[in-house]
Amino acid sequence: MTVFLYELVKESQESKHAMQSLIDLFEPKLKKSLSLTSYENREDLAQELKYTLIKYIHGYQVEETPGFYDLKRKIENKRAM
């Protein structure tokens, strides 16, 4: 089953399971970024990064995200001016 990021973000605003799936999706990137920090700070930084990710997901307004054609139309209108 393929789950798209957009759908997962929308679902994770109401579901803890979806939120965990989203965190798991970003886990490889978090680990890669943490490998650049000192070993002593990794666990604390990992918690901070996950907290920040959760905070942004809860604050993200999915319904206000423009669709492809809306965005295309907006760009074309700017060029026409």
Q: Measured between alpha carbons, how far is 64 from 3 in angstroms, rounded to an integer?
A: 20
pLDDT of 1 strictly over 60: no
Q: Measured between alpha carbons, how far is 14 from 8 in angstroms, rounded to an integer?
A: 10
**Percentage of the chain lying above the pLDDT 90 cut:** 56
The pLDDT-based confidence of 2 (bands split at 50, 70, 90) is low
Compute the average pLDDT of residues 48-77.
88
pLDDT of 61 strictly over 90: no
Q: Measured between alpha carbons, how far is 43 from 51 in angstroms, rounded to an integer?
A: 12
Whole-number pLDDT of residue 4: 85
Nearest alpha carbon to residue 60 among 3, 22, 17: 22
The predicted model scores a pTM of: 0.70
